[in-house]
Amino acid sequence: MVLSITSLTQLPVRSWRFSTIKALSCTLALLLTTACAGYASNPLKNTEICNGIYGNWNNTTLEQTRDMPLTMLSHPSVSSIAMAHNLGTRVLTYCTFYQAPPNAVYQNALASEHPDWVCVQPNGTFGISVFAHTNESSWVTMCPNSFGYRSYVLKLVKFLMDQGADGLFIDNAHPDIVCEGPRFGMHQHIYPGQGNIYAYRKLLEEVQALVKSYGQDKAIVVNPGAPQDSWTGVCDGQMLESYICSWDWNNRWTEDKILDYQKQWGVSSETDAPIIALSYLGFTRNAIRDDAFYTYAWAKLSGFIWADWFTGKTAASDLYKVRTGQPTGPMQTLNGYYLREFTGGLVVTTSQSKGATFRLDAIDHPTVTDVYTGKLLRSNRSGYYEITLKSGQGRVYTYPSELKVASNHRTKVNRSLAPHRSILAFY
Ligand SMILES: [Zn+2]
């Protein structure tokens, strides 16, 4: 078919509910000793933060992406991607291979002209999007096992990459598992007898090869809602959407749930393919700034890349600029708080059930900025910064005199930290 060239339809922010994750038995103590050689080539390596904008964006909203290492955008065009590049951000273009509106041009195609692309349910009707309760009420699901749909997807990917994108953000990586298209004579399958998890992975393999043909620095991030083993190896990173805070609920996740995700995905996030933890801010009873620092801190402690889709607005804007450098070791679990040191700073959260007081050696770190207050810490007569936090707080402290480079590139400092010497805890 001849693809018509149109802008992508405006896309709403969405979330996906997660099932309980069974924790792996491995510990974060292995975190820095199990790095595999393959990670060195991951284009998301050393990306400390990323973000995204759905829907229409203009010069004003795009300004938010200035110096953001990575931004996901939904309206691709040559000029707009070039504009984003000039602001210092790499652009991953939004797309989905899961669903489409039946009667509107979307991603350069009109699904109603291609019934052979659509998933067929066991009762013979077209597959219905899981977002049917939203404004995408009539959207149908697409079959990755369809010859015609596979061909279309690869043409779409080429079109998007030809616009100068740095890669793709592939949303809704949760295909309908079963398609009965062949049984109802609607279409034949590329992989007869195989389900759509298999077919979708094979499609991602082809998409990955095509994207990487534009350069090994091009990246693919997929969003299954919560990371899936099924997509390991066919993307550069996966999204964990609605991390701790979401528009879909008004309380933070429990500490146990946060730790479960850390145990499940923390190691692979730092050694293989990063997890992008997207928190939607402004929907709890907490101050947005408090939720911003809490979710940011937990992402850093867990080895995830934090994002908030700019929902934190001015309350989180200073976090967008923070660069801590690389971790010097795994997270430490202490009495009442969790702590992790980085080459250029320190990240802490307190337990949801109790606060904590701890000390930072002022000799090791003569200049320490509390990013939350924007002020320098002041040491006491004993040569320590004494820090007291209430329960459920997240903080990041940076060592500006030691952090030589604030960028997404690897940070070099004059000396490594000695955690057990520089940190003294008491309660
Ligand atoms: Zn099918």
Q: Is the pLDDT of residue 136 over 90?
A: no
Q: What is the DSSP string of 92-116?
A: EEEEESSEE-TTS-BTTB-GGG-GG
Ligand 1 centroid, distance to 297 Cα (angstroms):
43
Mean pLDDT of all residues in 38-58: 83
Write out the CATH class of domain 324-427. mainly beta
Residue 289, Cβ neighbours under 10 Å: how many?
A: 17
Ligand 1 centroid, distance to 127 Cα (angstroms):
10
Q: Give the percent of the chain with pLDDT over 90.
A: 73
Ligand 1 centroid, distance to 189 Cα (angstroms):
6
| pLDDT score recorded for residue 40 | 53
Ligand 1 centroid, distance to 124 Cα (angstroms):
11
Ligand 1 centroid, distance to 151 Cα (angstroms):
14
Ligand 1 centroid, distance to 92 Cα (angstroms):
28
Average pLDDT of the residues of the chain: 85
- Collapsing DSSP states into helix, strand and coil, what is residue 386? strand
Q: What is the dihedral of CA 123, 126, 132, 138, to 10 degrees?
A: -140
Ligand 1 centroid, distance to 123 Cα (angstroms):
13
Ligand 1 centroid, distance to 105 Cα (angstroms):
21
Ligand 1 centroid, distance to 266 Cα (angstroms):
35
Q: Which residue has the higher pLDDT, 261 or 414?
A: 261
Q: Out of 41-55, 89-103, 409-423, which region has the weakest mean confidence (pLDDT)?
A: 409-423
Ligand 1 centroid, distance to 188 Cα (angstroms):
7
Ligand 1 centroid, distance to 183 Cα (angstroms):
9
Ligand 1 centroid, distance to 407 Cα (angstroms):
45
Instruction: With cut-offs at 50, 70 and 90, classify the pLDDT of residue 11.
Output: very low
Ligand 1 centroid, distance to 117 Cα (angstroms):
7
Instruction: With cut-offs at 50, 70 and 90, classify the pLDDT of residue 96.
Output: very high
Q: Give the predicted TM-score (pTM) of the model.
A: 0.85
Q: Is the pLDDT of residue 44 over 50?
A: yes
| pLDDT score recorded for residue 55 | 77
Q: Which residue has the higher pLDDT, 172 or 415?
A: 172
In this structure, are residues 358 and 423 in contact, taking their beta carbons and an 8 Å threshold? yes
Q: Is the pLDDT of residue 243 over 80?
A: yes
Tell me the pLDDT tens digit for each residue of 209-236: 999 999 999 999 999 999 999 999 999 9
Q: The dihedral of CA 334, 335, 339, 345: what is its sign?
A: negative
C-alpha closest to that of 294 among 354, 347, 360, 226 = 347
The residues spanned by each domain of the chain are 1-321, 324-427
DSSP 64: G
Q: Which residues contact 200 (CB under 8 A, 6 or more apart)?
A: 97, 144, 173, 175, 230
Ligand 1 centroid, distance to 100 Cα (angstroms):
15
Q: Out of 119-123, 231-235, 397-401, which region has the weakest mean confidence (pLDDT)?
A: 397-401
Alpha helices in 163-252 (DSSP H): 196-212
Pick the CATH number of 1-321 from 3.90.230.10, 2.40.50.140, 3.20.20.70, 3.30.70.1520: 3.20.20.70
Q: Out of 15-19, 293-297, 409-413, which region has the weakest mean confidence (pLDDT)?
A: 15-19
Q: Which residue has the tokens 């200049």?
A: 367
- Collapsing DSSP states into helix, strand and coil, what is residue 77? coil
Mean pLDDT of all residues in 173-185: 97
Residue 336, Cβ neighbours under 10 Å: how many?
A: 17
Ligand 1 centroid, distance to 12 Cα (angstroms):
26
Q: Which residue has the higher pLDDT, 423 or 79?
A: 79
- Collapsing DSSP states into helix, strand and coil, what is residue 288? helix
| pLDDT score recorded for residue 187 | 98
Q: Out of 5-9, 86-90, 347-351, which region has the weakest mean confidence (pLDDT)?
A: 5-9
| pLDDT score recorded for residue 353 | 95
Ligand 1 centroid, distance to 240 Cα (angstroms):
27
Tell me the pLDDT tens digit for each residue of 51-74: 999 877 788 888 889 999 999 999
| pLDDT score recorded for residue 400 | 78
Alpha helices in 213-346 (DSSP H): 255-271, 288-302, 317-321
Q: How far apart are CA 71 and CA 59, in angstroms?
A: 14
Ligand 1 centroid, distance to 63 Cα (angstroms):
42
Ligand 1 centroid, distance to 10 Cα (angstroms):
27
Distance (Å) of CA 336 to CA 125, 245, 356: 54, 21, 5
Q: Which helix (DSSP H) or strand (DSSP E) does residue 62 occupy?
A: helix 59-62
Instruction: With cut-offs at 50, 70 and 90, classify the pLDDT of residue 76.
Output: low
Mean pLDDT of all residues in 128-147: 88
Mean pLDDT of all residues in 142-151: 98
Ligand 1 centroid, distance to 111 Cα (angstroms):
14
Ligand 1 centroid, distance to 146 Cα (angstroms):
5
Q: Out of 53-57, 101-105, 112-116, 185-189, which region has the weakest mean confidence (pLDDT)?
A: 53-57
Q: Out of 106-120, 127-141, 205-219, which region has the weakest mean confidence (pLDDT)?
A: 127-141
Q: Out of 144-158, 204-218, 246-260, 377-391, which region has the weakest mean confidence (pLDDT)?
A: 377-391
DSSP 254: P
| pLDDT score recorded for residue 137 | 72
Ligand 1 centroid, distance to 120 Cα (angstroms):
6
Ligand 1 centroid, distance to 19 Cα (angstroms):
26
